[in-house]
Amino acid sequence: MNSKKRMQQSEIENLVEIAHQKASGIGLGDVRINILIKHNNGLMLDLLNLRLAPYGLSSVGYFVMMQLHSTHNNLANPSDLCVRNGETRANMTRICDDLTNKGLMKRVTNLEDRRRVDLSLTDEGIALLQTVVPALRKDVDALFSVFNEEEKATLVALLVKLNQKLEALA
């Protein structure tokens, strides 16, 4: 899927099982769910990066562009994008510099506070999203076609429930 070779999920599970046995004397139990979620997330990001590469984008750049595109007037402060994307300021600066250098994003002075700089997608950035998003939607639809509608609804409900628990613990 990408240049780095990922271990198969079963190999990872076996290694983690051995580590758990050595550390605690018990098997994986519910840890297996965590391994499966993490492994599937990695595979989905690999696939996304593979699909975005021909457009000169990475998944993080794409996520930032989509977050920016979802805002009112197509404007956002870099700090807000950090929070929305879970990125550090340093990494967000690197991502935005890359998108700006590619002509997909621009920095604009905030009209209310001239000391503040906001970010905006360029016409080229918007046009690229209008090309990329439909293509990615087809990929996502194809990926999740492995499930019927009832299974999808169950999966969504379970993931929402897990998300609520994780947010409560954070």
User: What span, in angstroms and rounded, lies between the C-alpha atoms of 32 and 38?
Assistant: 10
Structure tokens at 124: 């080229």
Does residue 1 lie in a domain region? no
Confidence (pTM)? 0.84
Which amino acid appears at position 51 of this protein? Answer: R
Contact by Cβ (8 Å): 28, 35: yes
Contact by Cβ (8 Å): 69, 90: no
Q: What is the pLDDT of residue 15?
A: 82
Same domain, 137 and 159: yes
Same domain, 22 and 65: no
E strand segments, 20-154: 75-76, 105-109, 117-121
Number of domains observed in the structure of the chain:
2
Residue 143: give its domain's CATH number.
1.10.10.10
Same domain, 67 and 142: yes
Does residue 138 lie in a domain region? yes
Contact by Cβ (8 Å): 83, 101: no
Same domain, 101 and 151: yes
pLDDT in tens, 90-99: 999 999 999 9
User: What span, in angstroms and rounded, lies between the C-alpha atoms of 18 and 23?
Assistant: 9
Same domain, 17 and 30: yes
Q: Helix 9-24 and helix 31-52: axis angle, to 10°?
A: 150
pLDDT in tens, 80-139: 888 888 899 999 999 999 999 999 999 998 888 888 889 999 999 999 999 999 999 999
Same domain, 31 and 95: no
Same domain, 49 and 60: no
Same domain, 67 and 92: yes
Same domain, 23 and 81: no
Q: What is the pLDDT of residue 4?
A: 63
DSSP at 71: S
From 54, 73, 92, give the residue that closes a domain. Answer: 54
Provide the Cα torsion 47, 50, 56, 62; round to 10°: 0
Q: What is the pLDDT of residue 134?
A: 97
Contact by Cβ (8 Å): 77, 93: no
Instruction: Provide the residue range defining the domain that includes 27.
Output: 7-54
